[in-house]
Structure 1
């Protein structure tokens, strides 16, 4: 009997017109311009406001046994990677699990407080997934983004489940989910409307 293999799950907040980040991403505005004061105020407010209303979805995101993210999701390159910084998630990142960062810049693993260790993967999305599977065991793997990274995994057919958190704003431009991804067959598993976001989960069919 084969061991259970965890699911590869995408968790992504998007605007009603499909953008995961606006234009002009900076260190001060990692999610670009969305009409808020910074840090993706309008796009990601559901995670921090009315917390009890969306607690189940936030808990789902934080339950992953391993995480994959792109370099921009970790943080922009600041100066030389011989004197690296530790991203914009603080000294105690919310992941509390191994995080595999896709990058062109090799560096040693970076342990953080709270059980998070960043591993920097320079040989592509399949290598990151292989390493994440080894770290997660039979637990689930969450691809946190950004959309460019998610689109690569979707295009390669490596995603089992797509959890979208759709916010009722439009951005009109920026980084868009599904850009360059071939048509997908999706089965809707759940949907729930909260006051500031709609949570929808799809299974990605072969």
Structure 2
């Protein structure tokens, strides 16, 4: 008997609750992540997450950022083996892209969503495969939480305050409770919290 696929949401959050700062802050508002994302501990932890997934879910901003950065890394002999592996995974994995402005996506194995996030993910959960990984897209995560479709939350809490930007939780998310699956503390000061739906 087959079981529904797990939906895992991975998101980076500042200690004042933002998953991205102002675009003027650099790297599309993600400059606060750079020190941590390139750290060996973070890379090792994240590898344990993405290797379990065969579908990646992204919004337009992340899609364009990833498509512009990662393909050359997959071919770069000077990149670390772990970065090349991640780049290869990002290039080859099925990518579901949510966007109100894009009318096509050209990065290999990408497709534009034709329904809202809840409908798309509900359909994907009942197809054969491994985990469905939502990559740092706060608006998608919020909608999937409201629809009770996220099975695991992996929140990287980063030691920075941004003072503005894109909040992970806008408004009033619905009430839900979670079990703590694990905690990892990085030497950069970041804390990674792993929550599982009961």
TM (norm. structure 1) is 0.75
- C-alpha contact 1:106 1:122 (8 A) present in aligned 2: no
* Counterpart Cα distance in 1 of 2:60 and 2:43: 27
CA deviation profile, 1:150-174 (whole Å, cap 9, x unmatched): 1111111110000011111111211
SS at match of 1:152: helix
Note if 1:57 corresponds to 2:45.
yes
Note if 1:183 corresponds to 2:175.
yes
* Counterpart Cα distance in 1 of 2:107 and 2:18: 31
SS at match of 1:185: coil
Q: 1:20 to 1:109 in 2, by over 3 A?
A: closer
CA deviation profile, 1:102-143 (whole Å, cap 9, x unmatched): 12356456353xxxx1111132113431564467x2300101
Match of 1:104 in 2: 100
Figure out how many residues of one structure are paired with residues of the other and give that number: 179
SS at match of 1:6: coil
Q: 1:72 to 1:188 in 2, by over 3 A?
A: same
Note if 1:203 corresponds to 2:196.
yes
Corresponding residue to 2:68 among 70, 88, 91 = 88
Q: 1:106 to 1:167 in 2, by over 3 A?
A: closer
Residue segments in structure 2 that go unaligned for 5+ positions in a row: 75-86
1:129-168 matched pairs, under 5 angstroms: 129-130=121-122, 132-133=124-125, 137-168=128-159
Match of 1:83 in 2: none
CA deviation profile, 1:47-102 (whole Å, cap 9, x unmatched): 212x1x234312123221101111222138xxxxxxxxx94344355523101001
* Counterpart Cα distance in 1 of 2:165 and 2:181: 28
Match of 1:36 in 2: none
In terms of fraction of residues, the more helix-rich structure is: 2
Residue segments in structure 1 that go unaligned for 5+ positions in a row: 33-39, 77-85
Note if 1:71 corresponds to 2:60.
yes
* Counterpart Cα distance in 1 of 2:69 and 2:197: 29
TM (norm. structure 2) is 0.78
Q: Which structure's relative contact order is higher, taking Cα pairs within 8 Å and 6+ residues apart?
A: 2
- How large is the Cα RMSD of the aligned pairs? 2.5
